[in-house]
Amino acid sequence: MEELNHAIEDARSRYASANPLSQAADEKAARYLPGGNTRTVLHYEPFPLTMVRGDGAELTDLDGHRYIDMVGEYSAALFGHSDEIIKAAIHKALDSGVAMGAPTAYERELAGLLCERFPSLEQVRFCNSGTEANIMALTTARVVTGRNKLLAFNDAYHGGVIKFLGGSCKLNVPFEFVLADYNDIEGTAELIRSEGEELAAVIIEPILGAGGNIQGNRKFLQMLRRMTKEIGALLIFDEVKTARLGPAGTQGMLDIDPDLTTLGKFIGGGLPTGAFGGSSEVMAHYNPRLDSSFAHAGTFNNNVCSMAAGCAALSKIYTPQRAAEFFEWSEAFRLSLNDMFASKAVPMYANGMGSMIAIHFSSEPTKRPCDITTGCRSLRPLLHMELLLDGVLLCSRGDLFLSLPMNDSHLSKVRLALENFADRYKPLIEHALQA
Ligand SMILES: Cc1ncc(COP(=O)(O)O)c(C=O)c1O
């Protein structure tokens, strides 16, 4: 471990020398923002880079370095940073007035695009973020079923106030959650059985994102569908990230219809939004023409810039066919990384699916969060620093998100950076994993 700590310190010191302007900007920011930060996931040691410009699939920082952007705004920047079609749609919306305080054509068109695309969505409502979409889905389930308990999974992330990374978070909304282990078929089935008619909903990411981009096992997800039906609870698929995988998200791939689906990230074309929806029967509770319907509010639910950008993004760019092609291309890249790691016999693995990847320090795919070792976690800062120094921006926890403006040359550079890292540090990685 001493050797690893030394390597991390060395990489951090080279990084600090290369980024004096970002360091100064970070120190100055701490005057008015706690720790210089307003979004914890963007903080890392010794200080985060300040970005000044994005174009296509690349970003430029304050010190003038250019990066291939594999953070991709944690999957929301699917369209990159300068898509002309999206820019034109936003300009057009701006020119005809923002904050009109009335329904507009945009949210109606975007609702249609989403419902035509995701099999389980008959009707949707918009909100401002993925977090809000999940709060609305959970609260809908509680009110509709008249039950209180919600089943979620250890190491799941459903938003800043609904997260279970390493257990429940102090900032979580005070709902009554019970937690099961992701991909644990028997344990989860047992818990659902024992909670029975007290359970309002089960909420799940079909791919556990922040918890390591771990694919949900098909049998596990099918069991959730079957058992929630049996006990009268709602099944909520949080597809905030995974909806980008293929033409109809993971529900389309798996042929599973959840009762409620939540969306966010890319559906606003890179601008803030969220949505929750499901069958017309459940969503009828939000029909203001019906007696005793629920009044769902939100000043910016239908903000025209996000709605217009989302319409352009889904109708003109990320069509179902483009989504299918992008999935194939991204998945081939992920598999090529694993071939490369295997050929070097280095214990690294590109977990995930398609354009959602997380690098794990292991020779095998990670199937459950409990398979992630302390050694694997402790190597992440080194990977992060070294790739930044090599011009590849990735999430500090090791996630890589592909975006549409990327080409084969971008991916070759990313593969080469990972290859260089594997060659340079293989003995240290092996040592850290044994410790
Ligand atoms: C699976 C999942 N659900 C919900 C959210 C929350 O979305 P937002 O950050 O838009 O609130 C995220 C954000 O990363 C997410 O990954």
Does 124 share its domain with 66?
no
108: its two tokens: 């109606």
- Determine the Cα–Cα distance for residues 252 and 270; give it in Å rounded to an integer: 23
Domain of 117, in residue numbers: 84-317
Q: Do 61 and 90 fall into the same domain?
A: no
Distance CA 351, CA 334 (A): 8
Tell me: do 359 and 240 sit in the same domain. no
Pick the atom of ligand 1 nearest to 134's CA. 4
Model pLDDT for residues 322-372, shown as the tens digit of each residue: 999 999 999 999 999 999 999 999 999 999 999 999 999 999 999 999 999
> Looking at the structure, do residues 117 and 256 belong to the same domain, yes or no?
yes
Q: Is residue 2 part of a domain?
A: no
CATH of the domain at 312: 3.40.640.10
Q: Does one domain contain both 67 and 210?
A: no
Q: Ligand 1: does its nearest atom lie under 6 Å from the Cβ of 125?
A: no
Tell me the three state secondary structure of residue 72: helix
* pLDDT of 317 strictly over 90: yes
Average pLDDT over residues 254-273: 98
φ/ψ (deg, to 5) at 199 = -85, 125
Query: For ligand 1, what atom is nearest to the CA of residue 132?
Result: 11
- Render pLDDT for 29-79 as a digit per residue (tens, 0 to 9): 999 999 999 999 999 999 999 999 999 999 999 999 999 999 999 999 999
| 238 and 270 within one domain | yes
Cβ of 347 less than 6 Å from ligand 1: no
Distance separating alpha carbons of residues 97 and 125, to the nearest angstrom: 22
- What total number of domains does the chain contain? 2
**Residue 209 resides in a domain:** yes
pLDDT tens column, 102-119 = 999 999 999 999 999 999
User: Is residue 359 located within the same domain as residue 258?
Assistant: no
Place 304 in a pLDDT band, splitting at 50, 70 and 90. Answer: very high
Residues 166 and 89 in one domain: yes
Please report, rounded to a whole number, the percentage of residues in the chain having pLDDT higher than 90: 99
User: Residue 361 is part of a domain; what is its CATH number?
Assistant: 3.90.1150.10
- Ligand 1: which of 240, 245, 267 to mutate, most ligand atoms within 8 Å of CB? 240
Same domain for 363 and 406, yes or no, is yes
Residues with catalytic annotation? 157, 238, 265
Residues 236 and 383 reside in one and the same domain: no
- 129 C-beta closer than 6 A to ligand 1: yes
Last residue within a domain, chosen from 317, 350, 379 = 317
At 150 the three-state DSSP class reads strand
Per-residue pLDDT for 166 more than 90?
no
- Residue 5 neighbours by CB under 8 Å, 6+ apart: none
Distance in Å, CA 39 to ligand 1 centroid = 13
pLDDT digits (tens, 9 = 90+) for 120-156: 999 999 999 999 999 999 999 999 999 999 999 999 9
